[in-house]
Chain A
Amino acid sequence: MKRDAKDRAAFTRRALLIGTAQFGIFGAIAGRLYNLQVAKHGKYALLAEQNSISERLEAPLRGLITDRFGTVLAGNQQHWRALFMQALAPDPQAVLDNFYRLVPLPDDEKARIAAELAHRPGYIPVLLKDYLDWPDMAALEVNTPDLPGVVVEVGASRSYPFGPGLAHAVGYVARPNQREAAADPVLSLPGMRIGRTGVEAAQDAVLRGVPGFVQMETNVHGQVVRQVAHDPGTPGQEVTLALDAGLQALAVQGLKDQTGAVVMLDASTGEILAMASSPSFDPSLFDKGVPQATWNAWMADPGHPLQNKAVSGLFAPGSTFKPTVALAAMKAGTLTAETILTCPGFFKLGDHVFWCDNHTAHGSITVTTALQVSCDVFFYQVALGVGIDRIAEMATLMGLGTDLGVDLPDAETGLVPTLDWARQHGIHWVEGSTVVQGIGQGYTQLTPLALATMIARVATGSAVGPHITRRIAGTLQIGSTPGDWPVLDVDPAHLAVVRQGLFEVVNTPAGTAYADRLDLPDVQMAGKTGTAQVHDNTAAEKRQGFNDLTMAWAARPNALFVAFAPYDNPRYAVAVVIEHGNYGGVAAAPIAHTLMTHALTHDPAGRDVPLGGGGA
């Protein structure tokens, strides 16, 4: 017990000593506080008043989009803009009033500025006006003392050197909307853009980059005295497309003012070398805001200029579907290369008569000849023999009516009907429905991109998938070399039979595209024309002697052409669809002819710029 008391006294001594030391340290802290807060108050109060260094975030430069040779397809253009940093202005409203006096703004812009000022944190400046002109600049410069917190600086906006020619494939950017800016504060930075369509949308995350910051020293009036530090952030990465700007220009020229789409692929990799859709629009308008009148005109245009018809346009494939029907029948064993069927010019099923094109009688022919002359009656019979489900099965193998996984937004899958599909949609499927399926009419709806994929697969026997992005920040993407793709699950002998037929289409006088054979030595193109009805002529119209050339534009058939070349060593595949262009051999094949000739003489798929050489 005594010992306890002794221990306790010793502890109390030590605890008191520790407490005294702690009290002493608190005293020292209090002394330091007195020194800082009272003795040196004058010095620090002055520093606080002059303070001084403010920081704001800055939008990164958006990554470039180039074609496979480094030609810039989407770049950045510099312009002057005025920003406002609220924190630097003693009386923000007075500054805004002064600004509006010098640079008048419409009321909706003033409302936007007021809303943004109310919600933004201090380090995110608010955009007052983009695209300042010289009178604006001069007025702001002269009145700087009245405008504390207003910063005039260089900003970047998106530019599209090829304008409407690449509007669909490359896409466009626009200012983020309120909801997007709320979800990701970085998007509320002045100058930030968000990709809306095309590659700009598909690769938005890659192109966007990471914001940097600017640190400025400001004087007591909130004016920037000097820039202390500048971190430009990380610019977005460069996206190199498989596109060849030269081929693209030819595709755009080929379409001219017609409505339609052109897709050219590297047949062995599925790389998209050209992708045009017509009519088109000016993609740079979205950066500043599309004028209402222009928008209204786009909406009223029956050609739907904003739609990328190459990936979202759905068309009946017409006779370009015949190779798929032939492959399905050969796989099922209902058709061989030697099978001979007779075409008297019509095909009778029950009491319904299906006519061959122009009521021509093609006689007794094989499948190659049927493809060559595009005999409908031959394929009516083949389709009936193989059945609708097996046709759809082969179509899926060939990339038709299935998701191709293309790296572009808004891609449509299309439709190749099956009996299940018909049941689910309450459609009574009759044999006649299968008959017209043989010539790509009826319910079948496909995109030009799918048709190009199909002909590339027929050409190479490789299950290539279409894609447009070749490199990201210089790194070659998977799918850009032929070895990346599996072998197509179709008998090569069957493919050879079809290719023979397609060869004869272009290279024999009786072929439907003989006029557009290549005039290159030792190189041949193989292809298939298509003319797809979009309108059933009524009995009354028939009596009046209506034909395709005399009927209204919107009722005329679509013209299609798919092709590959060279015949003996396929490298390129192309699909052309001209809406209401009448005969595929007349309206669509010449465009393919031009593109193939250019591709075969310049060989873009065989060339690539070395790494790092892709810069602008």
Chain B
Amino acid sequence: MMMDSERLAPQRPFRDRSFGLMRKLLRVNWLFVLCVCLLAGVGYTALYSAAGGAPRPYADSQLFRFIGALVLMLGIAMVDIRQIAKISWPAYALGVLLLLVVMKFGHTGLGAKRWMTVGGMEIQPSELMKLFLTLGLAAYFRRATQERLNEALFLLPAVAAILLPVGLILKEPNLGTAVITAMIGATVMLGAGVRWWKFAILLGVMLVAAPLLYHHLHDYQRARITTFLNPGSDPLGAGYNIIQSKIALGSGGLTGQGYLHGTQNQLNFLPEKQTDFVFTIIAEEFGFLGSMAVLVLLFSIIAMALYTAISCGHVYGRLVALGVAANFFLYCFVNLSMVMGLIPVGGVPLPLISYGGSALTAVMLGFGVLMSVHVHRDVEFASEEF
């Protein structure tokens, strides 16, 4: 027996690369997967209620999508993170290409050209871009030393890599996703070790540029900002959703009006309640306690993603996990703030809960990569790789 193991010793790198499927599965953070499934369950419950107490047209089809996305996520989790690292830049390039394609050939939905159909599946390239940008930046900063991080010339390509997709997404136009993409990029750079004060400068530049940008906004985007500032002024225009959404939240109270008994929901006061405003259904029918439970679930996802980042042995994995966590956080933050009337309405769904396939697929794809980081948190990156 001793002889055998000694003979195998020189082949250790090989063994390391291919540690068995069973071992990989055991290393998956199953608590994380459970939280994801619980959130999908919350989504099913809310969508069942949105249809007036019926599995169709929303709940069942969303469940099928989720099951497909879950399989996809676990599949990606089994892929060696070093393989994923190798395709970081090709993925980034593909994301930019898709953005260009959608700009030219995509179809328009709700006033913006952001959708395209691939094999019968609707996708928004801007959703994929957020993940691909994270991968690209993580690969770029993977080998960066602190000295290099202090060189402006070294940071320039990274900033350009962020601004290119952000500009394309702005042009769609999709203000909400563009801002989120920029913030994800900034978070990854922060995680890589770029100095805090550099972000302060960037923030200052953006504050100066904001009024200029306002002039380039589309009318509907400006309308959102102005009605946000004073929603009561136009109760049936763009401010209508915000008012109805707040009424739905407020009428929920501590324990809610009871499942399938939310008046705002069941009487159809809110348009699009199955997508962007899905949180109002939970808040109205299950009250403050129900909405807090969802908040806790959402934050557990973020916390576990950050834990994966911190516990990861390689820089690439850390940055990727940080980016995925930032993406999920920003989704939740923008959607919840919008529903509560804290920021202008942005057309950002609540991940895992809202009806729709594009955001779900993109988020689960990101979770797949995150789980791959988690599974392969101890692998060694050869220095010549990438």
A33 touches B292 (CB 8 A): yes
B246 located at the interface, meaning its Cβ lies under 8 Å from any Cβ of chain A in the complex: yes
A18 touches B340 (CB 8 A): no
Per-residue CB contact flags for chain B residues 309-348 toward chain A (1 = under 8 Å, else 0) read 1100001001000100110010011001100101000000
A122 to B270, CA, bound (A): 12
Q: Which of B191, B246, B247 contacts A15 (CB 8 A)?
A: B191
A49 to B263, CA, bound (A): 8
Per-residue CB contact flags for chain A residues 39-51 toward chain B (1 = under 8 Å, else 0) read 0110111011101
Residues of B close to A54: CB separation below 8 A:
269
B252 located at the interface, meaning its Cβ lies under 8 Å from any Cβ of chain A in the complex: yes
A33 touches B191 (CB 8 A): no
Q: A23-B299, A29-B333, A122-B268 are in contact. Are A37 and B322 (CB under 8 A)?
A: no
Interfacial residues of chain B within 279-318, with CB under 8 A of chain A in the complex: 283, 287-288, 291-292, 295, 298-299, 302-303, 306, 309-310, 315, 318
Q: A37-B252, A229-B236 are in contact. Are A11 and B299 (CB under 8 A)?
A: no
The residue on A at minimum CB distance from B337 is A29
- The residue in A25, A29, A30 that gathers the most chain B C-beta atoms within 10 A of its C-beta is A29
Per-residue CB contact flags for chain B residues 248-282 toward chain A (1 = under 8 Å, else 0) read 11111110000000011001110000000000000
**Interface footprint category on B:** 35 or more
B250 touches A44 (CB 8 A): yes
A36 to B340, CA, bound (A): 8
**Interface footprint category on A:** 35 or more
A15 touches B306 (CB 8 A): yes
- The residue in A14, A40, A49 that gathers the most chain B C-beta atoms within 10 A of its C-beta is A14
Residues of B close to A229: CB separation below 8 A:
236
A15 touches B250 (CB 8 A): no
B190 touches A18 (CB 8 A): yes
A37 touches B193 (CB 8 A): no
In the complex, the number of residue pairs spanning A and B with C-beta atoms less than 8 Å apart equals: 129
Q: A10-B193, A26-B295 are in contact. Are A47 and B235 (CB under 8 A)?
A: no
B236 touches A215 (CB 8 A): yes
A36 touches B253 (CB 8 A): no
Q: A36-B250, A43-B250, A47-B251 are in contact. Are A7 and B191 (CB under 8 A)?
A: no
Residues of A close to B190: CB separation below 8 A:
14, 18
Q: A22-B329, A38-B254, A48-B263 are in contact. Are A123 and B246 (CB under 8 A)?
A: no
A405 located at the interface, meaning its Cβ lies under 8 Å from any Cβ of chain B in the complex: no
Residues of A close to B134: CB separation below 8 A:
none
A30 touches B295 (CB 8 A): yes
Q: Which of B187, B253, B306, B333 contacts A25 (CB 8 A)?
A: B333
Q: Which of B244, B250, B298 contacts A37 (CB 8 A)?
A: B250
Q: How far is the CB of B105 from chain A (nearest CB, A)?
A: 28
Per-residue CB contact flags for chain A residues 594-606 toward chain B (1 = under 8 Å, else 0) read 0000000000000
B310 touches A22 (CB 8 A): no
- The residue in A14, A29, A36, A47 that gathers the most chain B C-beta atoms within 10 A of its C-beta is A36
A32 located at the interface, meaning its Cβ lies under 8 Å from any Cβ of chain B in the complex: yes
Residues of B close to A45: CB separation below 8 A:
250-251, 253
A30 to B245, CA, bound (A): 16
Q: Which of A7, A29, A47, A48 contacts B340 (CB 8 A)?
A: A29
The residue on A at minimum CB distance from B305 is A19
B249 touches A44 (CB 8 A): yes
A228 located at the interface, meaning its Cβ lies under 8 Å from any Cβ of chain B in the complex: yes
A122 to B193, CA, bound (A): 55
B264 touches A48 (CB 8 A): yes
A323 to B119, CA, bound (A): 63
Q: How far is the CB of B128 from chain A (nearest CB, A)?
A: 23
Q: How far is the CB of A81 from chain B (nearest CB, A)?
A: 24
B268 touches A37 (CB 8 A): no
Q: A15-B322, A29-B340 are in contact. Are A44 and B310 (CB under 8 A)?
A: no
Residues of A close to B249: CB separation below 8 A:
33, 36-37, 44
A419 located at the interface, meaning its Cβ lies under 8 Å from any Cβ of chain B in the complex: no
- The residue in B193, B240, B250, B325 that gathers the most chain A C-beta atoms within 10 A of its C-beta is B250
B283 touches A16 (CB 8 A): no
A555 located at the interface, meaning its Cβ lies under 8 Å from any Cβ of chain B in the complex: no
- The residue in A19, A40, A52, A87 that gathers the most chain B C-beta atoms within 10 A of its C-beta is A19
A51 touches B269 (CB 8 A): yes
CB pairs A–B below 8 angstroms (28 shown): A7-B315, A10-B193, A14-B191, A15-B310, A18-B191, A18-B326, A19-B325, A22-B329, A25-B329, A29-B295, A29-B340, A29-B342, A33-B283, A33-B295, A36-B249, A36-B250, A36-B340, A37-B250, A37-B287, A37-B288, A41-B251, A41-B253, A45-B250, A45-B251, A47-B250, A48-B263, A48-B264, A122-B268
In the A-B complex, the 3 residue pairs with the closest CB atoms:
A44-B250, A48-B251, A37-B288
Given contacts A19-B306, A41-B253, A215-B236, 11 further A-B contacts (CB under 8 A): A22-B302, A25-B329, A26-B332, A32-B342, A33-B249, A33-B340, A37-B253, A48-B251, A51-B263, A87-B268, A122-B268
